[in-house]
A and B are shown apart, each in its own frame.
Chain A
Amino acid sequence: MNEQEKDVILLSHGDGGLLTHQLIQGTFFPGFNNKWLEEEGDSAVLNFGQERLAFSTDSFVVSPLFFPGGDIGKLAICGTVNDLVVSGARPLWLSAAFIIPEGMAIERLSDVVRSMSEIACQLKLPIVTGDTKVVSSNDPENLFINTTGIGVIYPESNFNVKNVEPADKVIITGSIGDHGAAILAARLGLESKESPQSDCAPLDFISTLLRPYFPYIKVMRDPTRGGLATTLKELAISGSFDFWLEESSINVKPKVKAISDILGIDPYYLASEGRALLVVKNGQEEEIIKELKKHPLGKDASIIGYARAGKGNLFLRTKLGGTRPLQMLAGTPLPRIC
């Protein structure tokens, strides 16, 4: 294999796994390096006068544009809002930029905008600036949306992976992989009552319910691209500790498991778009779970594992009592032959 062959962007560079990681480390960081970027959080944390601001941006590319449980518009609002929420911030303002393919039906675009507006209104969150570009494309469904959000960080939140200590507990607010499975099923053309629904939803309820517990929350993430495994592995690596998970306490819905089994894909690597992962101080987990369960989106919250001194590994204790390591996603999960 010659070197030149390696030097092109592959679709896998955008999957949130190892190649994305390498691209960020090797290409973007050397160019843009600064102390805010180095934190590698879901949002940048900026000190401004007396306030700490959270600043986050995300671009959304999804096929199909509309899927069971959501659409690209809802995803674009929830995605950025959730990045702010897991950074311990209250979202204040959003921007929205559209890159629209030539040939897209205006009615279709309006449907997307309506969906964004609905969820933004529900969150009482104004979209205060935006941008429109049109590009030539041979696919009228090739719509890209970027949203950026600014929020103010609650004074009592101090989420940082460096705060994690041995015996801290890992909590997830619900089942895993619903969004990823819904997208795969939609692409497969499986649209029935039996197909999985995306969990795409705003996570602002977490701040409302858990504010009094913020001092006990060590770090929070939303397991989107790369799924539960990649998100926890990243945390473990950057904090230099291990996580041990119990397979039996991780909720994978039967419909999600069915799609994963058909395609030979591991649900631990499928994206969620309405779940949060929390690492909380040992001893506080039961109280926090009790609070989370007060909201419909947190009713399935459970403790799935704990932190342990180590070197950045993620282990899963299987239902049978075996142990297996979980790695970062290496290459987009692809449907298999048999």
Chain B
Amino acid sequence: MEQGSFGYSVTNYNRLTEQLLNKVLKLGQKIAEKKGKKTKIMEVCGTHTVAFSRSGIAQLLSDVLDLRSGPGCPICVTHQQDLDYMISLSRIKEVIIVTFGDLLRVPGSFTSLEKEKAKGADVHICYSPLEAIDLAAANTQKEIVLLGIGFETTAPTIATALAQAREKGLKNFSIYSTLKLVPPALEALLHEKKFDLDGLVLPGHVSTVLGSNTFDFIAQKYALPCVVAGFEPLDLLMGLYYLLNSIMEEKAELTNAYAHIVKEKGNKTAKEIINLFFEEGETLWRGFASIPGSGLKLRTEYNDFEARSRFNNLEIPQTEVFSGCSCGDIITGKLTPFDCLLFNTSCTPLTPVGPCMVSSEGACSAYYQYRQQTQQEILLH
């Protein structure tokens, strides 16, 4: 018999998942009856947003759960000003930009990396930041700029690239870091108290690096139940089941439903290499004011690797934020993509107005790919 995740047979795995789905649904109904409204839960991580929609779980539970996306899609939280800076870097003749693919189509104020590439900019799409090191060694007349976008999960590999660049004595390698930290953003979000969340699904991957106890403050300081969850359907449902139980019993607690991967104290090696090259600093987020201590800045002793100081005479266009774009409100859970007037009208994956429609982790992209139509069209059948 074919084997699925965890070594269960596929049939047993599916049966288990179905049973758990029913339990979650019943629990959700119970809470809805008790509170007279749907339970409002934020999934912080973009990969969760996609997994909920793609597996159909979000649709199946839509009568009892009001799922909101959080600031956990790296492209989506990147500030327009940073996008414009990175695109301007690509216009410098001797520069080769090295970037992850999802950044390519994100619109800056006037253009995108994809369009600049079509007009001759040298943009290399990488699978691993370490490709930038090989490129730098092979193209000594060129300047290699690695776009460092992401969270605690991407930071260790960017730091590893820096370590290799230092070891090889590369003089033509730099990074433009917009690396961000999830806990300060959650702190900022919860501190605002602009809307009433019942609980949080915490990012599984970020938790593997930081450790689950990093998020203790959510239960302790903000009295909100929360759960660390994985990404397969069974993992997601397990997470929801624990979370709904805490909500039902009104217990502000953190549960780790991904304990086979996520340890309390996280990954020491990963944290060490991040700390070797980076320090916390204030940074800009889309959807927020600037958040203190939420960005990873290169330590001053590595300033040679800082693209901002290497290319400091750059002309950056005046940043324009598109009117009507709700990305900022969507990544802070205030709105869902269906609430945005531009969604699937003027904003589609081909004509994205904001980053949430471009990134494969973005809430609008996930809703467009997996959920739009379902609501209206299925009713017709």
Contact = CB atoms under 8 A, between A and B. Distances in A.
Are A and B interaction partners?
Answer: yes
Contacts of A64: none
Interface string A99-143: 000000000000000000000000000000000000000000000
B239 interface: no
Given A319-B14, A325-B373, A335-B100, A11 B118 contact: yes
Q: Which of B102, B149, B233, B371 has the most CB of A within 10 A?
A: B102
B119 interface: yes
B212 interface: no
Contact of B59 (A248, A322, A330, A338): A322
Contacts of A12: 105, 114
A64 to B, nearest CB: 14
Interface string B45-62: 001001001111111100
Interface string B110-122: 1100110111000
B55 A10 contact: no
Contact of B377 (A1, A189, A313): A313
Interface in B332-381: 348-350, 359-361, 368-374, 377-378, 381
A331 B370 contact: no
A117 to B, nearest CB: 34
Interface residues of A, number: 41
Contacts of B151: 338
Given A336-B100, A338-B153, A321 B118 contact: no
Interface in A279-338: 308, 310, 313, 315, 318-327, 330-331, 333-338
B47 A338 contact: yes
A335 B354 CA distance: 19
B71 interface: no
A5 B114 CA distance: 11
A330 B56 contact: no
Given A188-B127, A336-B360, A327 B369 contact: yes
A162 interface: no
Contacts of B21: 320
15 contacts: A8-B115, A11-B117, A12-B114, A19-B350, A313-B377, A322-B58, A324-B56, A325-B377, A326-B369, A331-B350, A334-B125, A335-B126, A337-B361, A338-B47, A338-B361
